[in-house]
Structure 1
């Protein structure tokens, strides 16, 4: 079984990924700013920030995978993209893989089409966070690194406001939004986590982004 560090372990995606990892017998180091993750079997709560380089290096050396499930922006400004070089360096030195909970806004709505964030009607309230996470993906792709990483974009509808249920099913895509026969793009938190931990258990995407939806 793997040791998985989850930054943002008490958030929506991070919480579901933690639960799914525990369900499969993995050990989880659950990181958030207050260290308030539930201390249960298989979980080691840690107080800290993904911006703390010394902490990231220590956890990379102790983990098989670093899961990044934190916001791309802070106080209305891009935040996470600037940390990518240090994250990759720590992962390469520690022998860990990086898995990033990404955004849907950078997905194309169809082959050759615009990105979701560039379409009319994209929620203005989500624009800063979506654009910031697109920069994270750009930074990963541009990096000259020995570290392996994967970036998982959810469906367009994903979050605590549309939690859905655990079905154990999902479909994968690459850089184009996955929709159903009615044009709906949705994934529950639990099924997103299944796809994410499946990638940890059986790596199939290396230094690449993929997306998951029903």
Structure 2
């Protein structure tokens, strides 16, 4: 299987790249600066907004691990809109998006999102709201998308346990009552989804235990 990872030099993108490489996939890193990739993979040096259908048609799955810099959070919307337009020309290629937790619901009726709650950190709101809006528009598309939301506490330094629990559109917790996932275990869940194809045109979420 041929996998391309947009933003493969970022923290999560690089962990997904490494995890996919251990499964025997043919992995390509799509980055703006090829010097940031030290892994033994094929590298395409190109900005996300310059990508075309011709660039991506050879892959079975493309992972979108793009992360907008501070002050440019709207790029979460425009970047995913650009990719959605490309994938309308690529009906046989899957797009899997590294999503955010803030658009997950916190009530059974699915009316209140995490970002709508009173104690949601204001400093994260620009990123959260733009990612949530991008997700809403993705849901309206006809492409083969999957959106994976992490737990509320997304821990880069967390251990790779190899264990996780899946949810759907609601924020979920582990046995300790925590909404937690390490970057490493998130990468495992995402690559498992590449293999299992269990959430076509669906969003799901993942929670893990602290090691």
What is aligned with 2:169? 175
Q: Secondary structure at the match of 1:99?
A: strand
Cα-to-partner distance string for 1:44-99 (whole Å, 9 max, x where unaligned): 122222111xx232332121111111125663441132343442342243331100
Q: Does 1:213 align with 2:207?
A: yes
Asked if the contact 2:155–2:180 (Cα under 8 Å) also holds between the matched residues in 1, the reply is no
Whole-Å separation in 2 of the counterparts to 1:59 and 1:96: 12
Q: How many residues align?
A: 206
What is aligned with 1:191? 185
Q: Does 1:105 align with 2:126?
A: no
What is aligned with 2:113? 115
Structure 1 stretches of 4+ moved >4 Å? none
Whole-Å separation in 1 of the counterparts to 2:196 and 2:176: 31
Asked if the contact 1:37–1:45 (Cα under 8 Å) also holds between the matched residues in 2, the reply is no
After superposition, residues 121-136 of structure 1 pair within 5 angstroms as 121-136=119-134
Structure 2 portions without partners, runs of 5+: none
Cα-to-partner distance string for 1:3-32 (whole Å, 9 max, x where unaligned): 111111011211111011001011211122
Farther-moved stretch of structure 1 (85-94 vs 126-135): 85-94
Cα-to-partner distance string for 1:137-177 (whole Å, 9 max, x where unaligned): 1011112x2x21100000001143xx211111100000111
Q: Secondary structure at the match of 1:177?
A: coil
Structure 1 portions without partners, runs of 5+: none
Q: Secondary structure at the match of 2:169?
A: coil
What is aligned with 1:80? 76
What is aligned with 1:14? 13
Whole-Å separation in 2 of the counterparts to 1:115 and 1:97: 26
Asked if the contact 2:7–2:66 (Cα under 8 Å) also holds between the matched residues in 1, the reply is yes
What is aligned with 2:24? 25
Q: Secondary structure at the match of 2:176?
A: coil
Asked if the contact 1:30–1:37 (Cα under 8 Å) also holds between the matched residues in 2, the reply is no
Asked if the contact 2:49–2:82 (Cα under 8 Å) also holds between the matched residues in 1, the reply is no
Q: How far 1:208 moved relative to its partner?
A: 0.9
Asked if the contact 2:57–2:93 (Cα under 8 Å) also holds between the matched residues in 1, the reply is yes
